[in-house]
Structure 1
């Protein structure tokens, strides 16, 4: 009986409602940005909020384009690398991240991504949701709880930063600060410092021709070998390999 009901429900979704009608339902979610991409990270569908988010006027302006067409190079590369990871089977759930608005300002988002399967269970693309985290008091309190130390890191990542300094900016003990970072960002303060440094290093590698050693130094890394290891651990490629790829694509 349950199997029969399940088949009837599946038939209703596929043959009565139709995929197009189901997808348009995502336009009713006012704060959700939704997209579907093919295996080349090109948009094949997005809701109206996505179109609005990137500052365009119609879905036709989005079809067949990748994030490179809409975002600064270092952010587009981040999204495309995410797509590749997801298409390798990785799942991203409620990841809190700083991304750029169409105004050029940065804001907090909560993002989830999944692989997209065909009828034969082969991965053929990816889809995802992201939400600007400024709507609820719970979200606002979450950001406020770590706002001071996060801003301190963003402004001073190129300098020596110790966890004690961050704790002082939030008027917390080190242990209390670490608990907050684990709760709201799922990472330690040291991991956050490292990731902010590496993200800025990736931006410089993409947008400038500065020597890699100089990039490392400007982003707070005193040892080139350590910088390279950390960069590969986070992004899956060495700084030199990223540079080589960029030169080939240019």
Structure 2
């Protein structure tokens, strides 16, 4: 059983750890850890779940994740086939303020950075010029060590604390409310939903995977994802539809069908609820971006 509390190997006195990882697919179990994390995607694509926010990620995207914030990054289905020989690469910068001591953290000079770290408890998506700068900075920090690495990270934090190019993802901040024993059950359900979203999935099907009654499952799922079962499933399906519209140039009707919707009116309503626009407006926006 993979633990929900993800323990990152480190020295007890090491405040900054940089991991450059390359695997066929990203670590895809819902988990959390005590470190703050800057996650930069170098190669690969897929879906993320951060706090209570679900969306798509691509190469070049960067995220700032607060301590104990539940999250996963799941690669697109084609990355799980060894025949494709695809790779998923990322740089993770992990920061443990406890290693520097309480007095250091309370320095007035660090107040802007502390505010940034507090915001990161909801998960932050880096956009615009900050996204480009962070991609370069994340690559540069891999070549630095010791005190030089710590100073460079604080320069990165200082820049991010001043930029407006950050989007808050989760609606609520998380504290460590999860128990290690919950991991197998919740991850089995999430895997089932992501692998079968195009099929006719019922609440009873998901409850069976968790080996719970329907009522108990509804309470369990809401507690661990902050979403209802139908909300979570619809966000997975609409996220897939968006990716299909962008990458495969399919019709709206075909995207709906491939995402598990057999009623186009219901699909249109869910699409607008989740994305804020209709599928046709979304497609027009895609075409406009391709022309500019």
Smaller-chain TM-score bracket = 0.5 to 0.7
Distance 1:237 1:53 in 2: 36
Aligned to 1:153: 193
CA shift for structure 1 position 245: 1.8
SS in 1 for 2:208: helix
RCO higher in 1 or 2 (8 Å CA, sep ≥ 6)? 2
Aligned to 1:244: 284
Distance 2:41 2:88 in 1: 15
Of Structure 1 and Structure 2, the greater helix share is in: 1
Aligned to 2:150: none
Q: Does the CA contact (< 8 Å) of 1:231 and 1:238 recur in 2?
A: yes
Q: Is residue 75 from structure 1 mapped to residue 51 from structure 2 by the alignment?
A: no
Q: Does the CA contact (< 8 Å) of 2:44 and 2:87 recur in 1?
A: no
Distance 2:167 2:285 in 1: 25
Distance 2:70 2:274 in 1: 15
SS in 1 for 2:123: strand
Aligned to 2:223: 183
* Cα distance change of structure 1 residues 229 and 29 upon mapping to structure 2, 3 Å threshold: farther
* Cα distance change of structure 1 residues 244 and 200 upon mapping to structure 2, 3 Å threshold: same
Q: Is residue 215 from structure 1 mapped to residue 249 from structure 2 by the alignment?
A: no
2:123 corresponds, among 89, 106, 112, to 112
* Cα distance change of structure 1 residues 98 and 207 upon mapping to structure 2, 3 Å threshold: same
Q: Is residue 96 from structure 1 mapped to residue 71 from structure 2 by the alignment?
A: yes
Q: How does 1:1-250 map to 2 (within 5 A)?
A: 28-30=15-17, 48-49=18-19, 52=20, 70-72=43-45, 74-76=56-58, 94=69, 96-100=71-75, 103-104=87-88, 112-113=123-124, 124-126=164-166, 141-250=181-290
- Structure 1 portions without partners, runs of 5+: 1-26, 31-47, 56-66, 84-92, 130-135
* Cα distance change of structure 1 residues 219 and 128 upon mapping to structure 2, 3 Å threshold: closer
- Structure 2 portions without partners, runs of 5+: 1-13, 24-39, 47-55, 80-85, 90-120, 131-157, 170-175
TM-score normalised by the chain length of structure 1: 0.54
TM-score normalised by the chain length of structure 2: 0.47
Q: Does the CA contact (< 8 Å) of 2:221 and 2:227 recur in 1?
A: yes
* Count of aligned pairs: 172
Q: Does the CA contact (< 8 Å) of 1:145 and 1:180 recur in 2?
A: no
Aligned residues: CA RMSD: 4.3
CA shift for structure 1 position 217: 0.9
* Cα distance change of structure 1 residues 148 and 122 upon mapping to structure 2, 3 Å threshold: closer
Q: Which has the larger radius of gyration?
A: 1
